[in-house]
Structure 1
Amino acid sequence: MESESVTTPFGRRPMSLAMLLKQRRGETIEAGTKRNKWKLFRSVCEARARLDVTDRALTVLDALLTFFPDDELSCERGLIVFPSNAQLCLRARGMAAATLRRHLAVLVEAGLISRKDSPNGKRYVRRGKEGSIAEAYGFSLAPLLARAHEIEAIAAGIAADRQMLRGMKERLTICRRDIAKLISAAIEETVPGDWEHVSSILDGLLQRIPRTATLENLPPILEELETIRLNVINTLESQEKHQRASTNESRIERHIQNSNPESTSESEPGLETVQEANRDPEPSSGLERRKAGVDGNGSRTTARTNAGELKSLPLGMVVQACPDIVDYGPGGRIASWRDLMTATILVHSMLGVSPSAYEEAASVMGPENAAVVMACILQRGGCINSAGGYLRDLTRRAKRGEFALGPMLMALLRTKDRFKVGLEEGCRKVNFGKEPGAPARQNGVR
């Protein structure tokens, strides 16, 4: 242990083992670590609750960062700032001196800064002959830089949780609206069913929604609501099919066969039936499905609409097609959609995608689909000049219903398979992996 890097506090403040360990951990900075101080400060603000610091303490940290001369924190310039309490109070929006000292202690306790006290407890700097700083006493920002990766990971996780929670709230609102309106439609059209009981179940679920929704208490309620919505839709669709069958039986005697070979009226109903059977159940109401085939093009319009919708894909397929995203996941792995969204928040900052572009993509495509798109952009990073512009273009196409994730992932999988086949073929040609001393082939050279 280097004793020069350990500073005991001045005056009556005691030294403790925890303080010593925090100093040593704060001074352990990986070589070449650099961060923009304001971007890092925004990450600290995002992770404030996990770091156990108050908003007033962040005001003091903001004031301390203004005394660092460069925008980039690095070890080359030194990380000691030495303002007086009077100057700190001014830059901390006129904070009182006693309040300033209390929040400085909070920052030290949280491990974001450390003290480097001089022999007399004052903060000052000693310069060399060329005017460079030879020795400085004050507050060290080294702990903040040393924990930069940890702080950014915490901030990315919190942002991903907030985005996922916002998506759940939107789904819950839409699901609640769908159930209420479908029940009203069923009652008005006298569809058989115990709709009063379903309404009472819905009211009971809505009363269980907590005032402060979290990722732990909201998913079970959302799952029950989606189950109720699916049951209501199935009931309405079965009633519609029954009515349609009854109508066809009553009119079978008046059916007239059209012998015109150029007419497509005979084949279109069959095609529409096949498409309805193959179509995945959607969370929209049955009434909207009945309106899908009203226009003149019939099933073709429905097919075009479904072709533009974004479908959720298996997470395993995403990881297989985009293996580079795994390096940015928590702990170097992607085990859930939450891990994927956490990783892509780091990736979109690294690729230069603005937060507004990513948020717009998440609102249009959904948080999970936007995360998959970012993983694909990372995998094809060498072929894309502007990741932000490419994402905005995909978002515009998704708004028009002209973008699907499946072909993008399948293209990446095919590229990966072709590379693997080419590598195996090359290995076979050069007899790759032959044991030393093994006999050569009959037509080869020993």
Structure 2
Amino acid sequence: MDYTPVTPFRRTIDAAILKHQAATQEDLPPTGANKWEVLRELAAARDAFGLSDRDLTVLQALVSFHQATILGGNDSELIVHPSNKAICERLNGMPCSTMRRHLSNLVQTGFVVRRDSPNGKRYARRYGDEKVAFGFDLSPLALRFQEVCEAAEAVRAAEERYKRLRATVSLMRRDLAGLAEYGSSLRPDLGLWDQFSDLAVLAARDLRRKLEMADLKQIEKALGAALDQARDLLGDGNTENMSTNDAISEQHHQNSNKDLYDFEPRLEKARDPSNALERANAGVRVDRREDEGDPPQEPENQLMPNIPLGLVLASCQEFKSYAEQPVRHWHDLVRVADIVRPMMGISPSAWDEAKRYMGPEEASVVVVAMLERFGDIRSPGGYLRSLSTKAAIGEFSCGPMIMALMRRDAA
């Protein structure tokens, strides 16, 4: 056609439409663009161009009227001319008024250009070898394909950064909750643990919503500061001798030392009346003092367990079926442990050694905690001896064992 109109039929025109009309005068890319790939990339970057999913649905219907898969290249005829009724049929019966509203947005954003006929109808005519068509020009899809791809890649990169930051915040929240729980068992005198726990709960509540990037960064900053403070408190000299290895990996500890403790029942049978075996174990120094005439010295009494009795009762349930009456005091728990101990295969000598180095109350906590995971411990007597050895040098606390049981129940 000799002349290409720039104004729509019986519609107002503005600067945006003139700009998009002028852009269509450029030459189409020689390689063209796959129309389905254009739609896929535009769907990823639709927010950057002010398009909605319904706008893209209407655009997809328009693109389907173009028979070729490649837009541009050797094909310069990119004007489709379906009627409103035909478009709505391909939109599964979308109301015509709704379709026209989304079509207007496509024109305003420049992805579709109107080529209206003198009477506003859409049609195509042939004059010899020349074809003249009036309708919707799809050439902007080919001309702006590179722009759409760059915008889609930027959106995907931003989404990836958001996912990574959200995962980081979730892990930091979990670590802070665990450190607060562990720290409150070791240092109950500090009120910061409750603040850390509250911060973790609030972060978990915020993560249920769709947060903005700036909000996530603020939460990450607050959690990072709290984690640094919690690690400093747990890493000072007051807690350096408290270990959690026995609480977290009982089964691994037992398997790695099974050659030492698998013969616990044989040691019990081989015990002679002269206490030779006890002299070979931890009591050798006491026996030497007795032989030398010095007054016997008992090991220093251990402190009471560093956790409240109520927490032990809440975490350990198996021993209650062996208790004749409800456990209300530490001496009640010691009496139950005396009953349960032989059923678990723990020898009297191992039990006495545990009470000597841990104290009766903490030794009872260890026994009822072991009962909770009795199926995972290969030799309970040998395992108890290993914990007694750690207690003798001040490297054991029953608190982490109870905390591990609480985490297991909460999982």
TM-score tier by shorter-chain length is 0.5 to 0.7
In the alignment, the residues of structure 1 paired with residue 200 and residue 179 of structure 2 have an alpha-carbon distance, to the nearest angstrom, of 12
Matches within 5 A, 1:22-37: 22-29=20-27, 31-37=29-35
Please give the alpha-carbon distance, in whole angstroms, between the structure 1 residues aligned to 2:227 and 2:98. Answer: 55
Residues of 2 paired with 1:4 and 1:287: CA distance? 84
> Are 2:81 and 1:82 equivalent residues in the alignment?
yes
Counterpart mapping for 1:177-216 below 5 A: 177-190=174-187, 193-194=190-191, 195-202=193-200, 211-216=209-214
In 2, the alpha carbon distance for the partners of 1:238 and 1:36 equals: 63
Q: Is the 8 A contact 1:89 1:100 kept in 2?
A: yes
Greater relative contact order structure (CA < 8 Å, 6+ sep): 2
TM-score (norm: length of structure 2): 0.54
The secondary structure found in structure 2 opposite 1:126 is strand
CA offset at residue 33 of structure 1?
Answer: 4.8
Larger radius of gyration: 2
The aligned residue for residue 329 of structure 2 is none
Deviation by residue 1:209-228 (Cα, 9 ceiling, x = unmatched): 79431122211221221232
Counterpart CA distance in 2 for 1:16 and 1:187 is: 67
Match for residue 70 of structure 2 among 64, 72, 78:
72
**AA paired with 1:238?**
D
How many residue pairs get aligned? The number is 253
How many angstroms apart in 2 are the aligned matches of 1:75 and 1:24?
A: 20
Alpha-carbon distance, 1:32 to partner: 2.0
**Structure 1 residue 152: Cα displacement:** 1.7
> Which residue of 1 is the match for residue 163 of structure 2?
166
Residue pair 1:179, 1:229 contacting (<8 A) in 2 also? yes
Q: CA deviation at 1:17?
A: 3.9
Pairing of 1:99-248 with structure 2 (within 5 A): 99-127=98-126, 129=128, 134-190=131-187, 193-194=190-191, 195-202=193-200, 211-239=209-237, 242-243=240-241
Please give the secondary structure, in 2, of the residue aligned with 1:115. strand
Alpha carbons 1:191, 1:239 under 8 Å: kept: no
| Residues 34 and 287 (structure 1), Cα distance of their counterparts in 2 relative to 1, 3 Å cut | farther
TM superposition shift of 1:238: 3.4
Deviation at 1:51, TM superposition (A): 1.5
Partner residue, 1:62 = 60
Deviations 1:359-404 (A, max 9, x none): xxxxxxxxxxxxxxxxxxxxxxxxxxxxxxxxxxxxxxxxxxxxxx
Residue 98 of structure 1: CA displacement? 2.3
- Sort the Cα spacing of 1:188 and 1:106 in 2 relative to 1 into closer, same or farther, 3 A: same
Distance 2:41 2:113 in 1: 19
Letter in 2 for 1:83: P
Question: Are the equivalent residues in 2 in contact too, given 1:6–1:23 (CA < 8 A)?
Answer: no
AA at the equivalent of 1:236: L
8 Å Cα contact 2:83/2:122 also seen in 1? yes
- 1:36–1:71: 8 Å Cα contact kept in structure 2? yes
CA offset digits 1:295-346 (Å, max 9, x no partner):
969xxxxxxxxxxxxxxxxxxxxxxxxxxxxxxxxxxxxxxxxxxxxxxxxx
> What one-letter code is carried by the residue in structure 2 that aligns with 1:45?
A
Q: Give the partner amino acid of 2:61.
A: A
Distance 2:177 2:119 in 1: 73
Contact 2:45 / 2:152 at 8 angstroms: preserved in 1?
Answer: yes
SS at the partner of 1:94? Answer: coil
- CA drift of 1:141 comes to 0.7
- 1:120 aligned counterpart, secondary structure: coil
CA distance in 1, matches of 2:100, 2:176: 56
Residues 26-53 of structure 1, C-alpha deviations (whole Å, 9 max, x = no match) = 3334532522111211222222222122
**CA RMSD, aligned part only?**
3.5
CA shift, 1:69, in A, is 0.8
User: What letter corresponds to residue 9 of structure 1 in structure 2?
Assistant: P
In 2, the alpha carbon distance for the partners of 1:196 and 1:97 equals 60
Distance 2:245 2:149 in 1: 46
The residue matched to 2:131 in structure 1 has which SS?
A: strand
Any unmatched runs of 5+ in structure 2?
258-411
Secondary structure at 1:31 match in 2? coil
Residue 93 of structure 1 corresponds to which residue in structure 2?
Answer: 92
* Percent identity of equivalent pairs: 31
Determine the structure 2 residue equivalent to 1:48: 46
1:80–1:139 contact (8 Å) kept in structure 2? yes
Q: Please give the alpha-carbon distance, in whole angstroms, between the structure 2 residues aligned to 1:31 and 1:161.
A: 29
